[in-house]
Amino acid sequence: MATPSATKGASSLSLPAELWIEVFAHATHVEGVSERDIRDRVKSLGLYGERSGSTEHEPALRQSIVSTRLHLPLVCKTWYELATPFLYQSVWVDNRSLPSLLAGPLFSSPSVALKGSAEPLGALVKRVDLIMDLSRMPMIGPGVAIKEYYDDLGDLLQSLHNISIIDISIIPPRPIVANAMSFPIPNCVIDAACSLGQTLEVFNIRTELAIFERSQTIKLLHSAPNLRVLSCRYIEALNSGVTSSQSIESLSCGRWLSLSGSCRDCFPRLRHLTLREHDSLASPDMQTFLEGVGSNLETVCCAQGHTVYQSSWSVIARTCPRLTRIVLSVPEDALFQDDMFYFFQLPPVKYLGFKVYRTQSSTEPLEAAQLDRTAGYGRIWQKIQMLLSFTPSIQVVEFLTIDRPHKEGIEAVPPELAGRLQFRYVYQD
């Protein structure tokens, strides 16, 4: 007869290890805040500076995930052995988790030997999220100056040799003065990224304030031959055409404000392109660039504001014959309420997505009652009907980063549309 301890141990192994890993992944996942791989979302959501979750709620979500991650390995030895390699694949570094304090646990051996490995936990790290809160500058933490923080951060990153994803967020001080603030990426981060060499695949800068300096760009592109995702609002070297003599063979996903036409031959494998401004699509430089890369593009994501220009999308239709998905980032009030957002003829794509954001003048989500009074949802269906009359190739409409209070209204699709289109939804709390 089995002893109680033996029965308990056998019970903990009743699921295959792969299923336990999926349980741990589900317990520590929040859309837009914590994901195993940034590339999983690129095709449908594109690459944008802002995270899909609310900035106000994100610290609390992160703290909740951290608490869960801390407690999972403490349940039993089996969970420790299974959860530790998974959980340490991703590490967050913010103002509260000073790099000098993180170095201890990352470079010490596990207290319970992991099967098949005696390496320190830092060897498991595949992704690092850097979250820099400028509102805490010029002092990062109690008695810690910026230079000391960056020195420690650089030492920490350069000691993690297996990183494939670096994701950077910068929280600006309040209030923000429009067009009056920018923030260069710290050289210690670039140096660490370059030291990874062939290991680095994703360098994603989410923050609109961040600027990639020319020397940093050239250094990174020379040092990371397997870079697949490069995302930043403004990359000086690309905008000035500095890399025109190079061919970045590995890059498949990019997010930029604009590009020089002389870069048209730099990205032969670019498949997913995210732009921040609609008017850049019609610029001569962008037309030249698209003539070079457009034949391979599958997804174009673009911020549209309240107005759409047919001329911009005529350029896309002409230069991107293999395009299958378009994602439009639009203000919430334009999509739900007013008549400023007019539809037009799109290239013959199968998927059309809407990323909804709140403008600075309206940071609060629209209430469902307010939408009822203004027939907000009805206007959406009218606009989609109009769009279908111009672009009948559309088969799937995706509402991305929609506030959850809209769930009931946005899923009440009229029968005439429900029978013709598939609808997909990604909600945020």
DSSP letter string over 7-22? HHHHHHTSS-HHHHHH
Residue 308 has pLDDT above 70, yes or no: no
Paired sense of beta strands 299-303 and 253-256, if any: unpaired
pTM: 0.77
- Arithmetic mean of pLDDT, 143-171: 78
* Least reliable range by pLDDT among 289-293, 349-353, 366-370, 410-414: 366-370
The reported pLDDT for the residue numbered 110 is 57
CA 380, 275, 191, 135 torsion-angle sign: negative
State how far the Cα of 353 lies from the Cα of 345, in Å rounded to an integer. Answer: 15
Residue 310: enclosing H or E segment and its boundaries? Answer: helix 310-319
Under 8 Å between Cβ of 372 and 416: no
Tell me: domain 17-29+37-323, CATH 3.20.20, correct?
A: no
Q: What is the mean pLDDT of residues 361-379?
A: 56
Tell me the CA distances in angstroms from 266 to 141, 244, 293, one per residue in order.
42, 6, 9
Q: What is the pLDDT of residues 169-210, one digit of tens each?
A: 777 666 655 555 667 788 888 999 999 999 999 888 877 677
The Cα–Cα gap between 178 and 278 comes to 19
Strand ranges, E, within 68-112? 90-93
Q: Domain map of the chain by residue range?
A: 17-29+37-323
